A and B are shown apart, each in its own frame.
Chain A
């Protein structure tokens, strides 16, 4: 049984760890998911929403990977594919070196990966008390009712809710911040290794958000967790994450260590996103919008680089060639990669770096 006083061992000496610390916890390669558009296809051209269109990334053990992007960029779909809430059309998903659904059965995988959603009320069963909600997962996985309830109480205590006062309550009796704590406790009930936080703090007020972020940091340290942290709030991502992935229209446009992304963005979209953050200093107000127009519709994404219609550096080549993720940017960080022709040595963009002599 889990006890708040004796936290689980850290990921490095976790008995479930198979591949060692250098093996990424999650490896995603060529993930694709398209949704058919209703009303198309019969006597009309068949249309699809390319929600996720060829995404590759790794989540390292013990890190927090931030995922940012605007609505329709595919960040939530990526999370749901990772969680196996929906099947990818194509792509490979490795968890600690094992192929999910093949060498690693789905049931064992799901026990190790949990998710917290944005809407704290919609993600709880309104007819279950809080302790029943938290104990539900363990009971499905064969833990006895008594042990499961005991574990639920420990977790309630751990997320800062007194079990004596809260265990028997229903979701509608709680505030948004308290409900999100319950969702976090429920996610931890199966002792997962990866927790996917899909805009988990976005609906909370600022002062409550800060409390929940602190809680997430404490839990990560105490239980040796790995987080995938999806958010549209760049300030929160900067605070929480070790590495950041920026998505645009179903593709990764930049991925790298937090400081590299925030201090020296390699993709013009990342730079525009950063410049769009409201300035806290009224003396330094933004004068010109960094980007014009809305994010385009993912039903008919632009050809070539998907960002080119909104990009101020766009050239003819950008409308024809889809940029690849190029590592080793000017920041000298080998982990920092951006999908922009201006960063691709030998690309035909006028700002592209020259090819180095071999």
Chain B
């Protein structure tokens, strides 16, 4: 098998800003093949966004990062400041949750996209502008020529997210990181953006990491799902396997708590309790305090992520 496009090996991220260090990511390993879409699924504080931002080294100074990350053959942890600036946008680019905050309010969209292209390639302003126009047509923004000359505040959320995607694709990256790109959008717009990302991913052969908290969104876009809990991947596998036959008790609980399963019942099945405090992680399995199938050994052993048959992996001592 060819080398994976993204290879994260035992990544740990600790933020040292507050009184106590916050262990946001605790030993995540993830491989994404060329042209594959992996959804990182988890609740807030599970470390899904932090994992993804590590790939662009977007963390504040003083953050402790250990482990190895390779993207398209380059070791991201080893790159110099200059090299990482070349890397961002050209090899790996990102679409953020809130395009209104991610785009610069004082420049037009056209200026921002041409700037991106000219930063990475030896190309004239006119040629860069024409490429921006092509990109706007590609993401199906109506009257693209006029829209390139508008400022972010003049556009609706859905259109801005399209512009954001156009900008992310401006330098033909190999990897697209999407951080909840549809969470802030309305339902009818969300499905349009999801279909657009899927279509462009296939056309450009992109490897995509798609962070989301919504299982339905993951089911619409992803080839594989990696479920995160308290900074670790607890289960990983093909979309259909995870949704039809989840193995880890947390995944089972998450899928079981869905309101659409409630039918005529008048109560929802819930996972009791709340996620652990990341400054004070339990010694063993992080899910053990909430788990219905907890055993004595769960309290002091961190379960490794191991294969569960065909292609998936699960981190639970019941399957060890």
Contact = CB atoms under 8 A, between A and B. Distances in A.
A232 B185 CA distance: 10
A85 B213 CA distance: 33
A207 B270 contact: yes
Given A210-B270, A286-B195, A279 B216 contact: yes
Interface in B187-231: 187-192, 194-195, 213-217, 219-220, 222
A355 B164 CA distance: 50
B143 interface: no
A55 interface: no
A292 B142 CA distance: 11
Contacts, number: 120
B191 A286 contact: yes
Contact of A273 (B158, B187, B219, B269): B187
Given A70-B186, A278-B216, A281-B219, A239 B262 contact: yes
Given A281-B243, A294-B158, A70 B187 contact: yes
Interface string A321-345: 0000000000000000000000000
Most buried by A among B186, B217, B258, B262: B186
B43 A205 contact: yes
Contacts of A287: 195
Interface string B32-66: 00000000000110000000000000000000000
Contacts of B217: 278
A236 B44 CA distance: 19
Contacts of B186: 70-71, 232, 294-295
A240 to B, nearest CB: 8
Interface string A287-298: 111111111010
Given A239-B262, A286-B191, A210 B219 contact: no
Interface string A96-124: 00000000000000000000000000000
B280 interface: no
A336 B79 CA distance: 63
A277 B219 CA distance: 11
A303 interface: no
A276 interface: yes
Interface string B259-281: 11010001111111010000000
Contacts of B43: 205-208
A175 B278 CA distance: 13
B320 interface: no
A80 to B, nearest CB: 20
B257 interface: yes
B156 A294 contact: yes
B240 interface: yes
Nearest to B189: A294
Contacts of B187: 70, 232, 234, 273, 276-277
Contact of A294 (B159, B267, B271): B159
B72 interface: no
A288 B196 CA distance: 10
Interface of B: 43-44, 142, 156-159, 186-192, 194-195, 213-217, 219-220, 222, 239-240, 243, 253-254, 257-260, 262, 266-272, 274
11 contacts: A70-B186, A70-B188, A205-B44, A210-B269, A210-B271, A213-B259, A236-B259, A272-B188, A278-B194, A280-B258, A290-B188
Given A207-B257, A278-B194, 17 more contacts: A176-B44, A206-B213, A206-B215, A207-B253, A210-B271, A211-B270, A211-B272, A273-B188, A278-B217, A280-B215, A280-B258, A282-B239, A289-B195, A293-B158, A294-B189, A295-B186, A295-B188
